[in-house]
């Protein structure tokens, strides 16, 4: 199948992937733009996983103050090289992450960052709710598991839906930038302040 230059350009504009990668993705997807985007996203995820062991000691700390000066965020985003850390794409990523944190108020970057006592308390609540609704014992664990998955998607930054594009998660967004830069990118930490909020 012949892939037009305009289709390659369109896919490139949407994903930031290289010309050859875009051409290969469109061929793979028989010219279907959405399928090609999915193909590139999966490829980016696979490549990112291969980079798992690389050190990320460069990057940026970005801040975001919400209109009205009542919410403020600091986020540290890391990459492998100083060069990538200074690019426009990386700066935009860090700024967008700071805005995401301001908007969605996550507890941690990933599941591992959620305090154990908080997780135990959630499990306890979900178990009690399932039992109170008269669900049979054998399905309670499944119900709790389902509710926990939803909980993670609300409180773990990487599992949250990206506010600027609800079709992807923050993890997908990172994979896209990793595919574009060829580097491992991690969100190291963040802090979110809200005026008048009590200290934990």
Q: What kind of fold does domain 115-154 have according to CATH? A: GTP Cyclohydrolase I; Chain A, domain 1 (1.10.286)
Give the residue range(s) of CATH 3.30.479.20 domains in the chain.
58-110+156-194
CATH 1.10.286.20 residue window(s) in the chain: 115-154
User: Of the candidates 190, 139, 166, 182, which has an alpha carbon nearest to the alpha carbon of residue 43?
Assistant: 182
Question: Please, which residues bridge with residue 191 across strands?
Answer: 74
Q: What digits encode the pLDDT tens for the residues 25-75?
A: 888 888 888 888 888 777 765 555 555 556 677 899 999 998 889 999 999
Q: Which CATH architecture group holds 5-50?
A: Orthogonal Bundle (1.10)
The two three-digit tokens of residue 97, written as one number: 């992450």
pLDDT(154) > 60: yes
pLDDT, tens digit, for every residue of 87-146? 999 999 999 999 999 999 999 999 999 999 998 999 899 888 888 888 788 888 888 889
Is the pLDDT confidence value at 171 over 60?
yes
From CA 173, how far away is CA 145, in angstroms rounded? 25
Query: What pLDDT does 52 receive?
Result: 55
Tell whether domain 58-110+156-194 is in CATH 3.30.479.20.
yes
Sheet holding 58-65, edge to edge: 58-65, 71-79, 186-194
- pLDDT for 44 equals 65
Tell me the two tokens of residue 99: 């805005």
Where does the chain hold its CATH 1.10.8.10 domain(s)? 5-50
């Amino acid at each position: 199948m012949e892939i037009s230059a305009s289709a390659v350009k369109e896919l490139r504009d949407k994903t930031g992937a290289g010309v050859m990668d875009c051409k290969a993705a469109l061929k793979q997807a028989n010219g279907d733009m959405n399928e090609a985007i999915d193909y590139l996203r999966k490829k980016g995820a696979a490549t990112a996983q291969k980079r798992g062991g690389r050190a990320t000691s460069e990057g940026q700390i970005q801040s975001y103050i919400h209109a009205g000066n009542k919410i403020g965020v600091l986020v540290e985003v890391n990459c492998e090289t100083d060069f990538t850390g200074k690019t426009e794409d990386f700066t935009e990523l860090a700024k967008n992450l700071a805005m995401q944190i301001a908007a969605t108020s996550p507890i941690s970057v990933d599941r591992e960052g959620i305090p154990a006592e908080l997780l135990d308390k959630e499990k306890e609540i979900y178990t009690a709710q399932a039992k109170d609704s008269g669900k049979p014992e054998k399905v309670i664990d499944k119900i709790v598991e389902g509710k926990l998955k939803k909980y993670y998607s609300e409180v773990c930054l990487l599992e949250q839906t990206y506010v600027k594009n609800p079709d992807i998660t923050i993890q997908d967004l990172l994979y896209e930038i990793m595919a574009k830069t060829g580097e491992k990118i991690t969100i190291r930490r963040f802090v979110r302040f809200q005026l008048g909020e009590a200290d934990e």
